[in-house]
Amino acid sequence: AQLHSFSLVSDMSYVNQNVVRLIRALFEVVLKRSWATLSSRSLRLAKMVEQRMWDTINPLWQFSQYINVEILQKLDEKKMTPERLLEMDAKEIGIMIHNTRLGKEIKAYASYIPLLKIETQLQPITRTVLRIKLTITAAFKWSDKIHGTNSQQFWIWIEDPDTDNIYHSEYFIITKKQVKLEEPQTIIFTIPVIEPLANQYYVRAISDRWLGSDTATIISFHNLILPERHMPHTGNC
């Protein structure tokens, strides 16, 4: 019986590893094809398989080896997301979970979910080319116990919600030092301008490993003025 159980565990581990590889391969394919919705869904599915949890539950369950299950269940009952916990003070959290000693600790774990803050600057180069500058800073606290001692990885892309098209994507790495010192990083690239101009695009920043670690920043084109089209010379005096 023990041998059978061990064999079953090994088989399940093998299946799980290969499923993750297949889903991540699918993610790379759809990302290269610039399909926004399928890219986000396939990456999210890969992370769910890796974490062995649904993305619909509280992201704090990713810390279940550190936070008591009863505490996590209380947070679920109160519908306490990491965002809501960060808006509360430690005393309020402690009272809510009926354990004042743990209030500060729970708030700390909520701040460990890797998130990025992104600011955008737009500059039309021509009527058909737009230069975009992203200034990126960490919006989370670093913990060696949680994040290791090296870096965290994200996928960043620009998408048009109307056409579901990705116009630029890249793999982004933020180091422990950059998080600790709140050092901004800059990414500059160009994308095509498609007329009629959309109302807005989104900048997506999605953690490569963590669930509930997604941000969307709006790029508004409401006040964007494109250069005039150059009329051809007729040669007439």
DSSP H helical ranges for 103-199: 103-111, 144-147, 176-180
CATH for 87: 1.10.150
pLDDT band, residue 114 (cuts 50/70/90): very high
* Judgement on whether residues 128 and 207 belong to the same structural domain of the protein: yes
- Give the pTM: 0.87
- Portion of the chain with pLDDT greater than 90, in percent: 82
Q: For residues 140, 143, 149 and 150, what is the CA-based torsion angle, rounded to 10 degrees?
A: -10
pLDDT tens readout for residues 153-174: 999 999 999 999 999 999 999 9
Segment 1-30 shows an average pLDDT of: 73
Both structure tokens of 91: 């005393």
Domain membership of residue 22 (yes or no) is no
Write out pLDDT tens, residues 185-197: 999 999 999 888 8
Q: Which domain holds residue 165?
A: 116-220
Per-chain mean pLDDT for the chain: 91
Ramachandran region of residue 12, left (φ > 0), alpha (ψ -120 to 50) or beta?
alpha
Residues 78 and 136 in one domain: no
pLDDT for residue 128 is more than 80: yes
Chain length of the chain: 237
Residues 101 and 139 in one domain: no
Structural domain count of the chain: 2
Cis, peptide link before residue 196, omega less than 30° from 0: yes
Q: Is residue 9 domain-resident?
A: no
Q: Is the pLDDT of residue 52 over 80?
A: yes
